[in-house]
Structure 1
Amino acid sequence: MKDYPSEKPYTSELVTSASEPIGVIVDSINGHVYWTEYTAKKIYRCNLNGTGRLLILTDNDALYAITLDHRNRWLYYSTTYTTNTRRIRRSRLDGTDIRNVIDEEASVLSIDFNDERLYWMNFATGDLKSAHLNGTDASKVFSTNTTTKNLGIYVLDSDIYCVNVNQIFKVSLPPVISASVIYAGTNRIFGLFVYKEKREYFYIEIYLALPRLISQITMMT
């Protein structure tokens, strides 16, 4: 595991402007980017180059995390913070057929496609939790023992990488659940993306200045 792109330069490109975007997910199969807008209570979609911007849905509650089940064509998103109705919901990719999945808040969402399970971090408790994609069989997987500080998660090859303040944990799934710190920095981490290249794992740490929210979505190359 090593930091990326420590030895490689990168450039950023403005893809689209947005009003308080919080969660972002890329549909690499269909060439789309989806994102949540917090106070606007909306989910939008555009093409990878920023064209074709489309409103997918408007919710009654403030929106936060988002992830994509491309196999079954569901969007999962969370409502949180400013309302008592803190839930994980899902809709079809066109915003129809909205359903409640889990009745609790989630600061981040990710999917294990091997076991078809949804994973999320409970922002208030610091617990990593899991359920079937329809919301059944919900259970706690691991506790970070840190509250209101967990803002990143990514599932890859049935391992879960999650953020705890300025650390990145790697949590291995059953039959034996184990957790280890694979990175510890000095700044708070607000997001995480993991990918595998030439049998090596790379991770990108994302630092944001809150409560000043980034009002654009950028692409790094």
Structure 2
Amino acid sequence: RRLAPLRTEHHRVARLASLAAGTSAENERKMRLESYVLAARLEQVAAAATARLARMSSGRFTLVHSDERANGRGRHGLGLHVVDAWTGTERDTATLSGGESFFASLALALGLSDVVAEEAGGVRLDTLFIDEGFGSLDEQTLDEVLDVLDALRERDRTVGIVSHVPELRRRIPAQLEVVKGRSGSYVRHRTAADR
């Protein structure tokens, strides 16, 4: 008789723990609680990113949250798919080309910035650094990317680009160049007039 209430409490707590761990048969998605919370956040970021990506791709691509496991790997609920308006299909983001993938990554970074700013009471994140992907872009896509980045700068955002792509050196007016030397590296400020 004394153990019965303890067994009941244990059963209740064990059932709740199993649900939170994603191991319970009652947890249909087999998602851990932390993945569920992250999935909800990812839905918000994907929605904010879609608004940006749709503009960048002239309405072709939108991002949607996916509860599926990516290629049998990873956790349930933390996937993203892209919907291609040209083909009418939904597919894994891994199928995007280099330029398309770059736009999707940039849109996600900006979407995350929008969600964080909204939750911080409207405090804006005014500086963005981009440190990858430029080498995979063809000339036309590079033009489109720079147009998007110029539009961000026009809205009083500072956009820093870290790159070794020679075309960017020619097209970006204000630069900080890291120069290597025997006694160490130093930073040199360059403008279009200096080149």
Task: Give the alignment's TM-score, normalised by structure 2.
Answer: 0.26
Rg comparison, structure with higher value? 2
For normalisation by structure 1, the TM-score amounts to 0.23
The structure with the largest helix share of the pair is 2
